[in-house]
Amino acid sequence: MKTIVVGCGRLGAELAYRLYKKGHQVTVMDPSPQRFNQLPADFQGRTIYGDLLSADLMESADFEHADALAAVTDDDSVNAVVAHVARTKYHIRNVVVRNYAPALRPVLEAFGFQIVSSSSWGAQRMEEILDNTRLNTVFSAGNGEVEVYEIVLPEEWEGRPLAALTENSRECVIVALTRNGHATLPTPETLLKAGDILDISATASGIACLQGVLESGKEAQL
């Protein structure tokens, strides 16, 4: 698989090396040749430098035959333009774009790109770690808009039906229940036991409401 990584900062170098180790034919582009020093010594992909918005540089990187492209510079405008050209002119189907400045994320979203907002996601993940003592995030979709959380059911919910947790909720979906090491797909009528481990798919606002419900011992009003 031929993959182009645009930008060889810390993120770009790490991504390029990971893809190379997986067997991708990787080409890394950057305005400065010195940035390629961040690549590990055993990286054997292509490196080319110059103006990232130059049509000649894109031709040199062989955009025409690329299967995938990641635009991961620290300039959202450059990422947007390169990704747009890659998708519309060269018809590269698998294009992912790094969002560096959270305030500019809506601009990238307007293009319909697959976006990884490292700053927003990192801040949200740290917030969860610092703020939630009962919740553990086990999976994050998109840029954290929907996540799967794991919770251990407190004693005050012993004997209540599962539906009492998320009744009328559009923000939380309980996707699995683990009891005594055995996971099942629960139903709304499943009676809960203290110590049950629940995996819950939810938005940030939904899980915040559910956490309040758990702590108060009251039924969900989400």
Domain boundaries, the chain: 2-120, 132-216
- pLDDT, residue 195, reads 86
What tens digit of pLDDT does each residue of 68-98 get? Answer: 999 999 999 999 999 999 999 999 999 999 9
What tens digit of pLDDT does each residue of 98-136 get? Answer: 999 999 988 888 888 899 988 888 887 677 667 655 677
Q: Which helix (H) or strand (E) holds 105?
A: helix 105-110
Topology alike, domains 2-120 and 132-216: no
**CA nearest 179: which of 164, 208, 158?**
158
What tens digit of pLDDT does each residue of 136-175 get? Answer: 788 888 888 899 988 888 888 899 999 888 876 678 899 9
How far, CA to CA in Å, does 149 sit from each of 128, 137, 175, 188?
A: 10, 4, 10, 18
The encoded tokens of residue 105 equal 């994320």
The encoded tokens of residue 53 equal 């918005």
Least confident among 5-19, 21-35, 49-63, 186-200: 186-200
- pLDDT, residue 221, reads 41
Separation of CA 112 from chain center: 16
**Per-residue b/e over 4-36, b at no fewer than 16 CB within 10 Å?**
bbbbbbebbbbbbbebbeeebbbbbbbbeeebb
pLDDT band at 219 (very low <50, low <70, confident <90, very high): very low
The whole-angstrom separation of Cα 7 and Cα 20 is 15
3-state helix, strand, coil in the chain (%, to 5): 35, 30, 35
Yes or no: say if 71 and 118 are a contact pair by the CB < 8 Å rule. Answer: no
Yes or no: say if 106 and 41 are a contact pair by the CB < 8 Å rule. Answer: no
Best CATH choice for the domain 2-120 from the list 3.40.50.1000, 3.40.50.150, 3.40.50.720, 3.20.20.70: 3.40.50.720
Specify the fold of 132-216.
Alpha-Beta Plaits (3.30.70)
Its pTM surpasses 0.85: no
In this model, does residue 19 exceed pLDDT 50? Answer: yes
- Order the strands of the 114-117 sheet from edge to edge: 46-49, 25-30, 2-6, 68-71, 94-99, 114-117
State the SS3 of 176-214.
Answer: EEEECCEEECCCCCCECCCCCEEEEEECHHHHHHHHHHH
Three-state secondary-structure class, residue 174: strand
Q: What radius of gyration do the chain's Cα atoms show?
A: 22
In this structure, what is the dihedral angle of CA atoms 209, 215, 221, 222, given to the nearest 10 degrees?
20
The whole-angstrom separation of Cα 127 and Cα 21 is 32
What tens digit of pLDDT does each residue of 38-72 get? Answer: 999 999 999 999 999 999 999 999 999 999 999 99
